[in-house]
Structure 1
Amino acid sequence: MTVTRTAARSGALIAASSGLLATALAPSAHAVAGDGSHRLASVDKTTLTQETRHEVPTAPAVQVASDAKLRIESKAVKVTPAPEPEPEPVVETTSYTEPAATATETEAPATPDYASDGSIGAQAVAIAMQYIGIAYTYGGESPSSGFDCSGLIKYVYAQLGIHLPHSSSSMVSAGYQVASPIPGDIVWTQGHVSLYAGDGMVVEAANYGTPVRHTAQWQDYAVYIRPY
């Protein structure tokens, strides 16, 4: 009787242990085949016998407050930009252009400005100088027809509003005589008149074949007449 109870008890213990082992291993195999994040199923110890209950360890329970918050600290990462490349040095070049050679010009001697002092006589000389080269024409008194000696002087002073006779003999009384001539005075000799230009020079229409010219005074014993 005792042997039978002992055998039955041992069989029950073995059966219970086998059931516990099967229950524990089955979820483990399932977990390996499936998602690794699944945990093992809990063991219902109420079905165990008194002896088996003491053999199964109980894991401590982890309690988390319902209002617990997960705090993750993050720090700003400061990124230093790469330095900009330095500009390439600028090489300055200096160009040199040789000046073009210029021909040497020979300046002609300056013509005296006889009207520079603003006097009537100086203006008369300046006007007469414009007609250098006009042909001599007896009785002529214009640039288009030519000039004779008195016709040149008559035309020049007419441009200044002074009217003189077209006759060399009449011009001696057309103004007043002076001892020392200045530019614009009439140089009178018997049968010929010219216009004093200063520095011993005269402007005149001398004779046939000689155009109006600027030349040295050649008249001797001349009388100087100032017609204004």
Structure 2
Amino acid sequence: MAGAEPSIGDKRRQAELILSQVQELDAEVGAAAERFNGANYKLDQLASRLRETRLDLKRSRQQLGAARGHAGERLVQLYMNGAGQSTLEIILGAESLSEVLDAVEANERILEQDTRIIGDVKRLSVRTKKRERQLVASRATQDRLVRQLASERDAIAVKLSERQELLGSVQAEVERLEAEERARQVELRRRAEAELARQRALAAVQQSRAESSPAIESAPAVSTPTPPDPTASEEPTAEPPPELTPPPAPPADASRGAQVVSIAMRYLGIPYKWGGASPSSGFDCSGLTMYVFAQIGVSLPHYAAAQYGLGRPVSRSELAPGDLVFFRGLGHMGMYIGGGSFIHAPRTGDVVKISSISEPYRVANWVGARRVL
């Protein structure tokens, strides 16, 4: 067995090296996936602005049509009621000076209203054309984003294919090492159980001897404590038992933190899926937190960098269940569940699982934490 140890150690180190390479590649793919999520996030924002622009454009056109129709109706009424007479015709047809002044003033008022209506129509037309130009620009921007999105998606697909091939090769090695470790644990448990049985047998023999000679056992029990009695009585006074300090009170949002952690734990074992945000399709890292927090009424974007901008910053020493934790330049994230652990969707080929934030890889790539509850 001892002779086999170096060989197992070499293979384990080789597997660890491959796993570290997979982690690096996975981090790259994860970052690319988050860039895709970011592009989708921006695309959604652009689509929302585009819808608003189209609604504004539609309203502007409706207002333009209404203004033109109103102007036409005003002109028809103007001439049907004779308001379009010249000043001379008004004077000749009037019976008094007051009637002349009233008729001229009414005519001028109508003409002013017509002028205002025409000006409003012209301004509406200018605004409408400006909105049209903005709409065309927005569409061009959206087209560029879509092309960028397609290019990013293609690049991610290539990297995923390469990584899956590498993952396939390392999985066989890891499975073999895990089988060896399970066998080792079985052997260690067998030895421990054998030792425990030996200790129990020894204790039974000692008990049997004590029961067969009670006088011999009781004498030392009475005489032994007598000499050190004065000294023993001083020890409790000289060294009182240490006072236990109670743990700090939980934060006000501890119940919600426990609630969101309990929800997240339901999805342990759900496969990782790039771009996924539901148990049926699988999760990526930001999709998992988005889905879990939505169930307690907290809306998070499907984008790790955007989630990092929410809530307030929290140091590692202040972490509480429900806090969001971020790694690798915001290329990966998860949710702290307490006890130095966090739940996350790590990588393709893996599942939603619990890991320690104290792992060397996590410590080296720590970015920060945010509290959104």
TM-score w.r.t. structure 2 length? 0.29
1 or 2, which has the higher strand percentage? 1
More helix by share: 2
TM-score (norm 1): 0.47
Structure possessing the higher relative contact order (Cα contacts under 8 Å, 6 or more residues apart): 2
Higher CA-based Rg: 1
